Amino acid sequence: MGNDGGSIPKRRELVKEAAKAPTAAQIKEARAESQDHAWNHCALSSKPLAAPVVSDCLGTLYNKDSILEFLLAEEGSAEKVEGEKVLGGRVKGLKDVVEVKFEVDREEERGNGRREKWVCPVTRVEMGPGTKAVYVVPCGHAFAGSVVREVQERVCVQCNEAYAENDVIPILPTAPEDIARLNLRVKTLKEKGLTHALKKASGSKKRKKNAEADVATANDEGRVSTEEEEKKAAAKADKKEKEKVKRPDNGIKNASTAYLTKKVLEEQEERNKRRKLTQNDNVKSLFSEGNRKADLANSKDYMTRGFSIGGK
């Protein structure tokens, strides 16, 4: 090489330098950018977050309509496959997410995507990247982390609904201990047959085992018989027909009409009673008739009865 009019490459141009490990400042900056994006954009669709906002068992935020579109997508479609990569199997239905109820201070034009300003309803501190925020399961109200720690009773200060200490979910956690606690909580709930929203999981193993055991027991006892079921159904039908014949139908279905009819019948019965009383001779003797004057002898008291007082 050389003497051909070209340039001679140097060693630093031919040998690539090894990649340097990122510094602490670079790691902190990248984490801050990731947190800012997660607090303002849906993790599934990357669209700006807008109410209603939901969260999974790890505190990640999504738009509810994005979750619905993912759940309704056809199996094997590109949208379903990409969604599974993001969700990692954590969301299989709406029972696996909780709607997070943020206190909105105001809406404003923000450069990071989200227009709503979320604040803690107690401290009025803005919730976002750089601040620790939590929400409570199952009600979903969001607060600053310090508020939940200072409250002695495990009751939501917004709706007074009780919650367990393990049901305080940090929003977009970064601390390893918080992530480990959330993973342990998910495992415990699965063993109990519950979802992140503390609802019964559909098609859980325990329920399937219990159903199979019930079917086996019923077959052993001979209670699951087609002929017996048909006989029971026929007996029930005959019983209903007999009840229809015995029970009179007055044709009154409206409650107000039935009430007025009952009231009119009661008044008519009362008038009939009075009419019978007036026609009874024994009852007539108790009352005075016409202008007949009462006997003065009967009106005397026990001291003067039987004696006459002479006139002056």
**Assigned token pair, 256:** 């107000």
Helical segments of the chain, H only? 11-14, 24-40, 64-72, 78-87, 145-150, 176-191, 205-221, 226-246, 255-279, 281-284, 296-299
Q: Which of 50, 76, 80 is nearest to 64 (CA)?
A: 50
What is the per-residue pLDDT across 270-293, written as a single tens digit (0 to 9) for each?
Answer: 888 777 666 666 555 655 555 555
Per 3-state DSSP, what percentage of the chain is helix, strand, and coil (rounded to 5)? 45, 10, 45
Q: Return the pLDDT at 153.
A: 86
The CA distances from residue 71 to 48, 65, 66, 77, 91, in Å, are 20, 10, 9, 12, 9
What is the pTM for the complete model shown?
A: 0.60
Share of the chain above pLDDT 90, in %: 44
65 closest CA partner among 37, 99, 38, 95: 99
For position 241, what pLDDT does the model report? 60
Question: Has residue 217 got a pLDDT over 80?
Answer: no
d(CA 9, CA 16): 13
50-94 per-position pLDDT tens digit? 999 999 999 999 999 999 999 999 999 999 999 999 999 999 999
Structural contact between residues 42 and 62, judged by C-beta atoms closer than 8 angstroms: yes
CA 77 centroid distance within chain: 32
Q: Which two tokens stand for residue 224?
A: 């699951």
For the segment 6-16, the average pLDDT, to the nearest whole number, is 76
- Give the H/E segment covering residue 18: none
